[in-house]
Amino acid sequence: MFFEIDINGLVPVYEQIIIQIKLAIATGSIRAGERIPSVREQARRLAVNPNTVARAYRELQQEGMVYSNRGTGLAVADDAAALCQQWRLKYFRDRLASVLEDALACQLPSSELTELFQTLLEQKTPHNDHNKGETK
């Protein structure tokens, strides 16, 4: 449940926080019933203003991902994992679709895109397929 924030990016900080927490719930990094870091703690860790964290938490609450019991912090909702996994799929599908649409719209051949995709995927993946059991 540790992540970083790109303070200078296009995506608003509060939205980055929302996204990262949803992803953490989706991957099971935080489980239902567990508390998420307090507003002040999270703000300190991300080097960000508490109000910005509070806004992210408020929206997470409105979406039903977390709930609050006055004074005891915020905890992950019971159905949050399922919701976040759904959300995660849509999130990455939309991002991928956006890139593909733009690329195809300017006539990049799909063969070239596929090649690019595979090259990048190889670069980014840890590649621990062929050394199973060899990691001595």
Partner DNA sequence: GTGGTCTAGACCACG
Partner DNA sequence: GTGGTCTAGACCACC
Q: What is residue 71's three-state secondary structure?
A: coil
Q: How far apart are CA 88 and CA 19, in angstroms?
A: 9
Query: In whole angstroms, how close is the CB of 11 to a second copy at the nearest point?
Result: 6
Stretch that binds DNA, among 21-29, 35-43, 103-111, 127-135 (CB under 7 A): 35-43
Instruction: Specify the residue, 26 or 46, whose C-beta has the smaller distance to DNA.
Output: 46
Stretch that binds DNA, among 37-45, 84-92, 99-107, 117-125 (CB under 7 A): 37-45
User: Please, are residues 76 and 65 in contact by the beta-carbon 8 Å criterion?
Assistant: yes
Which DSSP letter does residue 75 get?
E
Stretch that binds DNA, among 23-31, 47-55, 83-91, 125-133 (CB under 7 A): 47-55
Residue 37 neighbours by CB distance under 10 Å: 19
Residue list 82-111, contact with DNA (CB under 7 A):
none
User: Please, are residues 61 and 68 in contact by the beta-carbon 8 Å criterion?
Assistant: yes
Among 23, 45, 58, 85, binds DNA (CB under 7 A): 58
User: Please, are residues 64 and 109 in contact by the beta-carbon 8 Å criterion?
Assistant: no
> Residue 63: which of a second copy, DNA, none does it interact with, CB under 5 to 8 A by kind?
none
Encoded tokens for 51: 């109000």
User: Please, are residues 17 and 54 in contact by the beta-carbon 8 Å criterion?
Assistant: no
Instruction: Specify the residue, 16 or 87, whose C-beta has the smaller distance to DNA.
Output: 16
Query: In whole angstroms, how close is the CB of 94 to DNA at the nearest point?
Result: 18
Residues found near DNA in the complex (CB under 7 A): 7, 12-15, 38-41, 48-52, 54-55, 57-58, 61, 68, 70-74
